[in-house]
Amino acid sequence: MIKYLFNKLLFTLGVLLSVSLITFILSFVLPSDPARALLGIQADESAIEGIRKELKLDKPLPVQYWEFLKRLSRGDLGRSYITNRDVKSLIAERFAATFKLAIFAITVATILGISVGSFAVYTNSTAVYKSLTSLSVIFASIPVFFLGLLVSLFIGSYLKLLPISGYEPGLKGIKYIILPGITLGIYPFALISRLTASRLLEIMESDYVKAHFAMGIKRWKIVLILALRNAMNPVITVIGNSVAILLSGAFFVEYIFSWPGIGLLWVDSVLRYDFPVITGIVMFSAMVFVVVSMVVDLLHPIIDPRIRALQ
Amino acid sequence: MRIFTIVAIVFIAILAMVSFSPFQVTGYAPDNISLPDTLSSPSPRHLFGSDNVGRDVFARVIYGARASFLIAFGAQIISFAIGISVGVFSGYYNNHWVDRVCSFIMASFHGFPFLLFVIAITAALGPGIYKIMTAIGIVNWVGIAGVTRSEVISHSEKEYVITARSFGYSNFSILFWHILPNVITSSLIVLIQGFGDVVAVEAGLSFLGLGVPPPTASWGKMIFTGKDYITTAWWMSVLPGIFLVMTILSFNIIGEELMKRWTRRK
């Protein structure tokens, strides 16, 4: 187990290192001169030369990469070209909103997805199962920005049930989170409900389930108590991946509903060519993504004793 | 074959044909501005209505299909080329350092949130049809490489490969003349399954203003422009949106059917 953990950690570190390299290459390819961007177009050459020296932009690329890594390890992501604010604190400020939205969306999607999936198997009807799979294919095919538009049009503007944009911290803000949360949760909901149903259906065919039927145990007990736990492993992977994706930025949803998270910050910075913020968010999101994926991997042996035995 | 699959194939076929020669279907040019026609609702004159500067929405939807298909096709060709090459070598030299390096690169690409990566690259390259193609292509190959790799690994143990090796064929010829023809079908299926995602990503990029540069028509851009007029002129964003959803849905249905048949045959 310890060896497995160690290997996993080493691998994650390696991936993070190559992510940093890719980010570095990206920031090198980006069509900008950081020194000029910091001082503005009218700055004179000697001042720009000075900044270049200070940022070590005159050094060879490997040295620059080393400097970049050193800054990263200190958690220094630089300053925004436009607002001149520290990128790290900008991200920290915005992450709370993204976190809330992601957790809301994934909680709703998980609870509804597993219930709907189990219910479809419980009914034991091909029609219900087939309509669930068709619906999930349809849901998974609607791009989230178009879905957000439809949701805000019908529920927000047409029925006027909920506000279509706004943000307020604390419990008062709950009415603002519902529309973006639903929009964001539809895709994971489709995946989770479908996967739960298809895994459950496989398990219902197995001998031990049939044995329990023969003992006269009720169908709902078998589905919920016996089969569901065994069906959970791939579902947990999907939930974990969704959390990782949602946490690393829900650009479209945050953009449409003006939700002040890192997704919105990222889109704004991309549109304004604010490169330190762009690379900072890329690095941060990739880190969140990799760490959440690692946690999900470590969860598997806890849930499934068979995997524990394999290790 | 289910009725949905047939409908999906017909829809994609018609759209592909139409996007080859859009001028056969519509008399309007997609960038033809006509201010008297501003925001006119769907009518025989403008089948899908017209937008905020009087451009015909139907013409723009059809020309938008062209951009979508072109980008999806180009991006998938790039992904396929990279994915197949990496997957084949990595699978054939399983447990060799070549495989370790390839697997590590694949894991690194996997460690990056997909959309974030694509947007970062498009931001770096700048907008333009060929640049988006490249950006999506160089991020999206990992799935194809993974499937190809595991297929090649399972084939390398088979008798026909061992026989070929004992006859003294070179690694290169075993790989490309014997293994590749056997594994390419599953890679192709993964490729087709990915089409819907690529169309969605391209529309998303254009929606954010990072995709197809104006005045070229693109569905994502149309949805973006139309969203400010959604209460007064719903056709501007809803109709291209429906076409977008139908296209993605059709690709997903076709991919799923192919996958089902393939696993059943195996």
In chain B, what are the domain boundaries? 2-19+52-265
Query: B105: exposed, middle or buried (C-beta count within 10 Å: 0-12, 13-18, 19+)?
Result: middle
Tell me what pLDDT residue B247 has.
Answer: 92
Shortest distance between the Cα of B36 and any Cα of chain A, in A, equals 27
Q: How far apart are CA B52 and CA A131, in angstroms?
A: 39
Of A138, A153, A290, the CB nearest to B230: A153
Helix B219-226 × helix A144-151 angle, to 10°: 20
Mutate to test the interface with A, among B2, B5, B108, B254 (most CBs of A within 10 A): B108
Mean of the pLDDT values across residues A165-177?
A: 72
Shortest distance between the Cα of A217 and any Cα of chain B, in A, equals 33
Q: Is A137 helix (H, G, I), strand (E, B) or coil?
A: helix
pLDDT confidence band for A73 (50 / 70 / 90): confident
Whether residue B245 and residue A146 make contact (CB cut-off 8 A), yes or no, is yes
Shortest distance between the Cα of B33 and any Cα of chain A, in A, equals 25
Tell me what pLDDT residue A56 has.
Answer: 65
Question: A140 to chain B: which residues are within 8 Å by CB?
Answer: 252
ipTM: 0.84
Whether residue B204 and residue A138 make contact (CB cut-off 8 A), yes or no, is no
How many other CB atoms are there within 10 angstroms of residue B169's CB atom? 15
Question: A278 to chain B: which residues are within 8 Å by CB?
Answer: 120, 123
Whether residue A141 and residue B209 make contact (CB cut-off 8 A), yes or no, is no
Question: Under CATH, which architecture does the B2-19+52-265 domain have?
Answer: Orthogonal Bundle (1.10)
Residue whose tokens read 């169309």: B199
Question: B117 to chain A: which residues are within 8 Å by CB?
Answer: 22, 282
Question: A15 to chain B: which residues are within 8 Å by CB?
Answer: 107-108, 111
Shortest distance between the Cα of A261 and any Cα of chain B, in A, equals 15
Whether residue B113 and residue A266 make contact (CB cut-off 8 A), yes or no, is no
Tell me what pLDDT residue B250 has.
Answer: 92
Whether residue B234 and residue A153 make contact (CB cut-off 8 A), yes or no, is yes
CA distance readout (Å), A240 to A191, B215, B231: 12, 40, 37
Residue A9: pLDDT over 90: no
Q: How far apart are CA A198 and CA A14, in angstroms?
A: 35
A150-160 tens-digit pLDDT: 888 887 777 77
Residues forming a β-bridge with B50: B56
Whether residue A293 and residue B252 make contact (CB cut-off 8 A), yes or no, is no
Q: Is A86 helix (H, G, I), strand (E, B) or coil?
A: strand
Of B126, B204, B253, the CB nearest to A145: B204
Whether residue B112 and residue A266 make contact (CB cut-off 8 A), yes or no, is no
Tell me what pLDDT residue B1 has.
Answer: 58
Q: Is A79 helix (H, G, I), strand (E, B) or coil?
A: strand
Q: What percent of chain A has pLDDT over 70?
A: 87
B72-103 tens-digit pLDDT: 999 999 999 999 988 888 888 877 888 888 88
Tell me what pLDDT residue A111 has.
Answer: 93
Mean of the pLDDT values across residues A123-129?
A: 84
Whether residue B200 and residue A278 make contact (CB cut-off 8 A), yes or no, is no
CB pairs under 8 A between A and B: 113
Shortest distance between the Cα of B166 and any Cα of chain A, in A, equals 35
Query: How many Å separate Cα A281 from the centre of its chain?
Result: 13
pTM, 2 dp: 0.85
Shortest distance between the Cα of A9 and any Cα of chain B, in A, equals 14
